[in-house]
Amino acid sequence: MVLTLPSDLTALIASFSAYRAFHHYADGPNPPLARLTAVIKATSTFHSTITTILAIYFLRRCRKQWAEVGTRETVGNPKEPAVVSWNGWSYPDDSTNPLLQSRSPLGNAITAIECGYLLQDTISLLREARLRLRLVQPGRRSTLRSLLEHADKTLLFHHVGIALALLVLHYYIHQDRERGIYIIVQFLLMNGSTPFLNLRWWLRTYHPSSTTLCFLSDLVFIAAFYMARCLGSLFREDEITLPDGDRSALDRKHSLVAPVGKECLQ
């Protein structure tokens, strides 16, 4: 009997294993704190660059496939988009919204790669905290409380929170109940600012006297941070079309409600 794993689970395991193997090789058996931190930053830069490229590729391909806005065939107004009403208010019918209902094996795999990285990097962050604990308090035991005291708590909780959310997503994927993969991958565009954040850290750590370079890296990071957070707007309404060029429905905020029968990027 041959055991076959779903493609997204395979991607998650492969991502975790590959990053874990790289750290095992790059860190060495007893790495100094500075070396481990540098490897963590280098891995972060590589991963964020790859996932940003994959996310842009995925979103641009899927945007063209999901751009047409569906309509509800009614006698009174055949161009009226499908809506649902509740308590006197009308809303787009999300049951036919392609941005929420469409599925994509590639999108699932991209989120799996992200999840595998976050799980592995959480281990590295705890290992970094243990090395820092040994330097500051050599005789103290490595308990969870002591590790949290010496860990980068903001980054650690950020990783744990998103990793848990992605694990919940993949639980639903295995039940064929996932929703909103386009929106979720869109959030991964935020990784685009991470290489510039790490460049800023590298300059301030190893070249603190280069004040001009440090200042320029701050400006570049601010610009990259803004673009990475706002880039998703490029994948929304700019290519949405309505039958016969009628865009009045968009003015009523009844957009992006098309039934989709195909999966994006099998």
Query: Of the candidates 166, 116, 122, 114, which has an alpha carbon nearest to the alpha carbon of residue 148?
Result: 122
Q: What per-residue confidence (pLDDT) applies to 242?
A: 37
The tens digit of pLDDT for each residue in 106-151 reads 999 999 999 999 999 999 999 999 999 988 888 888 888 888 888 8
Q: What per-residue confidence (pLDDT) applies to 171?
A: 93
**Which of 68-77, 141-150, 155-164, 212-221 has the least mean pLDDT?**
68-77
Q: Give the mean model confidence (pLDDT) for residues 47-69.
A: 80
The mean pLDDT of the chain is 79
Question: Which tokens in the block code for residue 41?
Answer: 């930053």
Q: Give the mean model confidence (pLDDT) for residues 72-96.
A: 58
Query: Of the candidates 94, 81, 85, which has an alpha carbon nearest to the alpha carbon of residue 183?
Result: 94
**Which band of pLDDT confidence, cut at 50, 70 and 90, is reported for residue 28?**
confident
**Which of 77-81, 137-141, 159-163 has the least mean pLDDT?**
77-81
Confidence (pTM): 0.79
Q: Tell whether the model's pLDDT for residue 32 goes beyond 70.
A: yes
Q: Give the mean model confidence (pLDDT) for residues 150-162.
A: 93
Q: Tell whether the model's pLDDT for residue 89 goes beyond 80.
A: no
Q: What per-residue confidence (pLDDT) applies to 83?
A: 65
Q: Give the mean model confidence (pLDDT) for residues 76-84.
A: 52
The tens digit of pLDDT for each residue in 176-212 reads 888 888 889 989 999 999 999 999 999 999 998 999 9
